[in-house]
C-alpha cells in the first residue's frame, strides 16, 4: 500500500502535479465558496471562457499569458455588470453572450495576430497538469497566498457584502470595489487553473469543493475550510487515479471532486437525500410510480 503511494512521488512531474493539485484545491475552495453563496457559479464559467480573448493579445505584445488572461477575465465581468445595469436584459443571457463573444474574439485573434498561432488551444481548453513546472507552481503559490491574505483581511466586509449587498451599500461600503475584487479573484483563480484542468473544467474545480462543504456546515468560513480539504483531497486522489489508470489528470481530479459531492449529497447528516426522515420512502414511491 505504501509503495502504491510512494511510487509516483519518484517522478518530478508527479511531485509538481500533486503540489499544484493541493494548491489549487485550497485556492478554488476559498474563491468558489464566495461564488456559490453569491450565486455567481455561471459567472465563473463566463470568466473562464473569456480569458481566451486575452491569450493571443499577450503573445502578440510579448507579455506572460497570465496577464492577458487576467485582463480579459476582469473585462468580461465589467462588461457584464455594465450591460446588465444599463438595460432590461437579465444576467444569464448577458453572460451567455459575453462568454461566446470573448471566446470568439480569442479564437479569431489566434489566427490574425502574428505569432499568436503558437497557442495550443487544446492545451488551454483541457490543461495539462503533468506539464507543470516550477514557474507555474510559483505563480499559483503567489496567487493562492495573495487571495488568502485578502480574504483574511477583508473577511467581515466580504461576509456582509455577499450576504446583503444592498444593506452593505446602504451602510456606506464601497460595494463596486468589492465586486471588482471578487471578479479579479475569480479571474486570477482561472489563470492559475489554465495549466491544470483548462478553461472547460475549471468551473468544476471552483464550485464542487465548496458545494460539497455547503451541504455539511452552517458558516461560510467552515465552508471554506472544509472545501479546502475536499479540494486538496480531489487533487491528490485525482492525480493517483490518473497515474495508475492512465486517464487524463484534469478530468480525474474533477470526477473525484464530483464523486465527493455526490456522496455528500446522498449522505450528509443534515441535508442528505437519503438521511432526511421519510426521504427514502418518498424516493422509493416515486421510483415505483415511474416504473409502473
Partner 1 sequence: MLQVQGLSVSYRDVLALQNINCEVAPGELVGIVGPNGAGKSTMVKAMLGLVNSAAGSIQFCGLPLSRQLLQVAYVPQRSQIDWDYPITVWHVAMMARTVHAGLFRRPSRQSRELVQAALERVGMYELRDRRIGELSGGQQQRVFIARALAKQANLLIFDEPFTGVDRKTEDIIFDVFHELKAQAKTLLVINHDLGETLNHYDRIMLLNKQVIAVGPKEVVMTAQNLQAAYGDALKFAAA
Q: Pick from 8, 15, 37, 179: which binds partner 1 (CB under 8 A)? A: 37
Site string (111-150) toward partner 1, x via CB under 8 A: ----------------------------------------
* Cell numbers at 196, concatenated: 491544470
**91 contacts 81 by C-beta, under 8 angstroms:** no
Cβ density class 31-48: b for 16+ within 10 Å, e for less: bbbbbbbbebebbbbbbb
Q: Pick from 112, 170, 279, 287: which binds partner 1 (CB under 8 A)? A: 170
Decide: is 164 part of the binding site for partner 1 (CB under 8 A): yes
Q: Pick from 173, 229, 233, 241: which binds partner 1 (CB under 8 A)? A: 173
Place of cell 450565486: 39
Q: How far is the CB of 259 from partner 1 (least distance, A)?
A: 22
Nearer to partner 1, 172 or 278 (CB): 172
**233 contacts 242 by C-beta, under 8 angstroms:** no
Distance CA 214, CA 224 (A): 9
Nearer to partner 1, 178 or 240 (CB): 178
Decide: is 275 part of the binding site for partner 1 (CB under 8 A): no
**206 contacts 147 by C-beta, under 8 angstroms:** no
Q: Pick from 180, 217, 229, 241: which binds partner 1 (CB under 8 A)? A: 217
Decide: is 163 part of the binding site for partner 1 (CB under 8 A): yes
User: Which parts of 39-98 interact with partner 1 (CB under 8 A)?
Assistant: 39, 88
Distance CA 70, CA 191 (A): 7
Nearer to partner 1, 88 or 118 (CB): 88
Distance CA 184, CA 65 (A): 16
H-helix segments, the chain? 2-6, 12-37, 41-50, 54-61, 65-85, 91-112, 121-126, 134-153, 155-163, 165-170, 175-194, 198-214, 220-245, 249-267, 279-291
Nearer to partner 1, 88 or 292 (CB): 88
Q: Pick from 157, 184, 241, 265: which binds partner 1 (CB under 8 A)? A: 157
Q: How far is the CB of 32 from partner 1 (least distance, A)?
A: 13
Which residue ranges make up the site for partner 1 (CB under 8 A)? 37, 39, 88, 153-154, 156-157, 159-160, 162-164, 166-173, 214, 217-220, 222-223
Amino acid at each position: 500500500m505504501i509503495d502504491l503511494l510512494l511510487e509516483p512521488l519518484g517522478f518530478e512531474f508527479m511531485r509538481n502535479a500533486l503540489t499544484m493539485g493541493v494548491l489549487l484545491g485550497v485556492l478554488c475552495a476559498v474563491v468558489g465558496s464566495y461564488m456559490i453563496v453569491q450565486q455567481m457559479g455561471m459567472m465563473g464559467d463566463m470568466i473562464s471562457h473569456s480569458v481566451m480573448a486575452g491569450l493571443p493579445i499577450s503573445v502578440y505584445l510579448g507579455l506572460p499569458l497570465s496577464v492577458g488572461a487576467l485582463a480579459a477575465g476582469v473585462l468580461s465581468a465589467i462588461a457584464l455588470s455594465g450591460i446588465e445595469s444599463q438595460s432590461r436584459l437579465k444576467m444569464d443571457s448577458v453572460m451567455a453572450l459575453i462568454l461566446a463573444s470573448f471566446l470568439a474574439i480569442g479564437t479569431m485573434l489566434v489566427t490574425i495576430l502574428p505569432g499568436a498561432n503558437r497557442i495550443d488551444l487544446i492545451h488551454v481548453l483541457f490543461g495539462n497538469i503533468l506539464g507543470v513546472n516550477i514557474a507555474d507552481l510559483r505563480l499559483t503559490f503567489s496567487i493562492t497566498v495573495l487571495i488568502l491574505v485578502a480574504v483574511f483581511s477583508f473577511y467581515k466586509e466580504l461576509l456582509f457584502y455577499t450576504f446583503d449587498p444592498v444593506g452593505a451599500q446602504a451602510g456606506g461600503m464601497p460595494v463596486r470595489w468589492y465586486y471588482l475584487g471578487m471578479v479579479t479573484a475569480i479571474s486570477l483563480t482561472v489563470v492559475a487553473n489554465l495549466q491544470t484542468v483548462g478553461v472547460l473544467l475549471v468551473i468544476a474545480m471552483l464550485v464542487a469543493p465548496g458545494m460539497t462543504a455547503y451541504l455539511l456546515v452552517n458558516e461560510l468560513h467552515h465552508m471554506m475550510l472544509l472545501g479546502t480539504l475536499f479540494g486538496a483531497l480531489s487533487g491528490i486522489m485525482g492525480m493517483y487515479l490518473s497515474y495508475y489508470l492512465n486517464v487524463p489528470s484534469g478530468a480525474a481530479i474533477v470526477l473525484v471532486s464530483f464523486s465527493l459531492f455526490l456522496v455528500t449529497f446522498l449522505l450528509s447528516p443534515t441535508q442528505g437525500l437519503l438521511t432526511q426522515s421519510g426521504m427514502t420512502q418518498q424516493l422509493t414511491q416515486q421510483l415505483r410510480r415511474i416504473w409502473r
